[in-house]
């Protein structure tokens, strides 16, 4: 950190620190470009709780909040992006500031919701708030909402917070998630032939949730990615840096070329080429702008497929969090109450959309706009191609127990998401993110467990649960990848070395919670063909049983299907040991 990032005494220096950090983060001095060759990532999979419909509604419609500010309660600022996953928070607050009759006001909060699409500014604001709280404990606290899979990259601000004598702290409650609106949009041919993306360029905000969607899709389909956004690799998928998700869409719409140096296997050729954005990773209204203003792109993959990738995670500082346990519980309670209302009653959802329009402040986007794209729609783009736009979900209390693994026999879905994308970002950008803050240093589930105990004997609305039909074949493949899972010779039992690969597979499949999993078993051609056919089935079934035994909630009945191919589909010559080893494989296909 430069000298302007060091903490010194006095209000003037505090101001310098604030603006200095904001400038440094925004300029890329913290996240500098990598100088490395393109990378073939390991598969990136997400936790598995898909969206289904709730069997019953147990929560009656409550009176909607008023419109007049409550003018009482502990003051808190909540910075949010223009993102529909916050519908429960909007209703809970009643307006941009907590209103009379709102759930926040009822729980002693005076919450001011402020739109902030700039992640770097959120980081800088958290540091400034930490310093302000140090000088004056009565300073209103600051909470920011970010994409959950983007938190590892966001945690780079931890160093500055530690210099301010504090650190990052997660509120152990999520008000919702992206369910389709965050997506990779690309040419239609990419759907059937992912390799068509090689040599193409995706515009996005780097090292955050939308890029993660693209990275996961590349990893799942065996595509190399170029981590240097200033060069062009014709044998990899390239990225074009954008300052936010709307600018990413704009880069495609305007098709303004960027001059890049061509590289081959990590080495510069000295040749300059002009590239444009061929595809975009963005979210609503970025996807809507692309469809309406230019068209030509379809959904390649989205958070409707990687349905557990992107919960809305609320982050603050330990300094404020530790000093305000009552307020933390109040926020969680208010969000829980509002979440049930938004999920259960159209009137509540419509009111939340109107409040969203007030907060986001776009004159051309009234509440009806946010309501429409919260639900998600299929519309014709400017060229007549039908594309899916929007899509988010509100969470209730039971959804949060599922997200954090506190339901019966549950899996901590968010922990798997955090580790999955923290690892891939560190691998891809070792200079910018050599490490990330361990989740255990930021997440304390005690408040959520206390609320769970408090409501244990009360009727609460159920969580949404995945539903899969066992006889429903995968019609649209999203990805296909061979896994090097080692079995004992001639048997369907795993070797000790297989456990690491299985654990990664488990974390991967946790993320893509809405997708079906097809396990395809293959062998080489040595020995009896009928025996090989049975062995390939036994090995595929061993993988299925391992997954289901590890987490019945993540892998409910019907999600995993088994196929046996024996030696009939070799991918290499069976004439060599190396070729036969490649043919003895388990392939995982994800789709819907």
pLDDT, position 507: 87
pLDDT of 193 over the 60 cut: yes
pLDDT, position 15: 40
* pLDDT range class, residue 58, cuts 50, 70, 90: low
What average pLDDT does the segment 51-60 reach?
54
Distance between CA atoms of residues 155 and 151, nearest Å: 6
Question: Which of 69-83, 97-111, 171-185, 519-533 shows the lowest mean pLDDT across its residues?
Answer: 519-533
Q: Would you state the structure tokens that stand for residue 495, as one six-digit string? A: 């070797």
Q: Read out DSSP for 30-55?
A: SSPPP-S--EEPPP-----------S
Dump pLDDT digits (tens) for 225-247.
Answer: 999 999 999 999 999 999 999 99
Which is the CATH superfamily of the domain at 41-174+311-452?
A: Periplasmic binding protein-like II (3.40.190.10)
pLDDT, position 557: 87
pLDDT of 28 over the 60 cut: no
pLDDT, position 489: 81
Q: Which helix (H) or strand (E) holds 202?
A: strand 201-204
CB 196 within 8 A of CB 186: no
pLDDT, position 38: 62
pLDDT of 252 over the 80 cut: yes
Domain ranges of the chain: 41-174+311-452, 477-591
Distance of CA 517 to the CA centre of its chain: 20
pLDDT, position 541: 95
pLDDT of 153 over the 60 cut: yes
* pLDDT range class, residue 223, cuts 50, 70, 90: very high
pLDDT, position 9: 38
Distance between CA atoms of residues 183 and 286, nearest Å: 10
Q: Which helix (H) or strand (E) holds 552?
A: none
* pLDDT range class, residue 441, cuts 50, 70, 90: very high
pLDDT, position 417: 95
Residue 198 phi, psi dihedral angles, 5° rounding:
-65, 135
Biggest alpha carbon–alpha carbon distance for the chain? 81
Q: Would you state the structure tokens that stand for residue 348, as one six-digit string? A: 């509540």
What average pLDDT does the segment 374-402 reach?
96
Go through the chain and tell me how many residues it has: 592
Question: Which of 109-113, 268-272, 328-332, 458-462 shows the lowest mean pLDDT across its residues?
Answer: 458-462
Residue 195, CB-side half-sphere exposure with 13 Å CA sphere: 3
CB 362 within 8 A of CB 384: no
Q: What is the pTM of this model?
A: 0.85
What average pLDDT does the segment 291-312 reach?
96
Alpha-carbon separation of residue 590 from 147, 309, 476, 519 (angstroms):
23, 15, 9, 9
Domain 477-591 grouped into CATH 3.40.640.10: no
């Amino acid at each position: 950190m430069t000298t302007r990032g060091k903490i010194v005494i006095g209000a003037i220096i505090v101001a310098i620190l604030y603006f200095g950090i904001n400038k440094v983060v925004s300029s890329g001095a913290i996240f500098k470009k990598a100088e490395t060759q393109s990378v073939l990532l390991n598969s990136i999979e997400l936790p598995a709780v898909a969206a289904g419909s709730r069997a019953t509604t147990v929560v009656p419609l409550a009176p909607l909040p008023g419109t007049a500010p409550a003018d009482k309660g502990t003051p808190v600022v909540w910075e949010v992006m223009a993102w529909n996953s916050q519908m429960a928070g909007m209703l809970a607050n009643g307006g941009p500031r907590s209103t009379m009759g709102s759930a926040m006001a009822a729980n002693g909060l005076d919450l001011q919701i402020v739109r902030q699409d700039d992640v770097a500014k959120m980081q800088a604001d958290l540091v400034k708030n930490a310093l302000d709280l140090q000088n004056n404990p009565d300073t209103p606290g600051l909470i920011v909402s970010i994409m959950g899979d983007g938190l590892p990259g966001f945690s780079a601000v931890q160093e500055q917070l530690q210099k301010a004598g504090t650190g990052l702290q997660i509120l152990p409650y999520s008000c919702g998630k992206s369910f389709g609106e965050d997506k990779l949009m690309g040419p239609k041919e990419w759907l059937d032939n992912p390799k068509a993306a090689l040599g193409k360029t995706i515009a996005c905000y780097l090292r955050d949730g939308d890029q993660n969607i693209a990275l996961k899709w590349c990893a799942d389909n065996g595509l190399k990615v170029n981590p240097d956004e200033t060069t062009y690799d014709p044998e990899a998928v390239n990225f074009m840096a954008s300052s936010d998700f709307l600018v990413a869409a704009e880069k495609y719409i305007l098709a303004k070329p960027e001059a890049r140096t061509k590289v081959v296997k990590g080495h510069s050729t000295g040749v300059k080429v002009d590239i444009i954005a061929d595809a975009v990773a963005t979210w609503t209204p970025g996807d809507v702008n692309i469809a309406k203003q230019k068209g030509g792109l379809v959904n390649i993959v989205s958070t409707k497929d990687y349905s557990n990738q992107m919960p809305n995670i609320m982050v603050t500082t330990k300094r404020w969090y530790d000093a305000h346990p009552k307020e933390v519980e109040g926020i969680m309670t208010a969000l829980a109450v509002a979440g049930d209302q938004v999920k259960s009653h159209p009137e509540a959802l419509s009111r939340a959309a109107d409040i969203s329009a007030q907060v986001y402040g776009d004159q051309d986007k009234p509440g009806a706009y946010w309501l429409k794209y919260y639900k998600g729609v299929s519309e014709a783009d400017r060229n007549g191609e039908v594309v899916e736009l929007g899509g988010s979900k509100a969470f209730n209390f039971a959804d949060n127990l599922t997200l954090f693994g506190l339901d019966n026999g549950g899996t901590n879905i968010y922990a798997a998401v955090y580790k999955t994308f923290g690892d891939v970002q560190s691998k891809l950008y070792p200079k910018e993110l050599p490490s990330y803050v361990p989740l255990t240093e930021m997440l304390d589930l005690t408040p959520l467990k206390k609320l769970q105990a408090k409501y244990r004997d009360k009727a609460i609305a159920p969580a949404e649960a995945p539903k899969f039909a066992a006889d429903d074949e995968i019609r649209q493949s999203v990805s296909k990848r061979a896994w090097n899972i080692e079995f004992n010779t001639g048997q369907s039992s795993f070797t000790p070395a297989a456990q690491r690969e299985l654990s990664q597979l488990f974390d991967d499949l946790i993320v893509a919670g809405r997708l079906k999993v097809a396990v395809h078993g293959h062998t080489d051609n040595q020995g009896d063909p009928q025996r090989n056919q049975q062995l390939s089935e036994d090995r595929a079934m061993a993988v299925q049983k391992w997954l289901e035994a590890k987490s019945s909630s993540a892998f409910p009945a019907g999600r995993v299907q088994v196929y046996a191919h024996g030696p009939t589909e070799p991918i290499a010559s069976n004439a060599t040991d190396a070729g036969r080893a490649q043919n003895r494989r388990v392939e995982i296909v994800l789709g819907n």
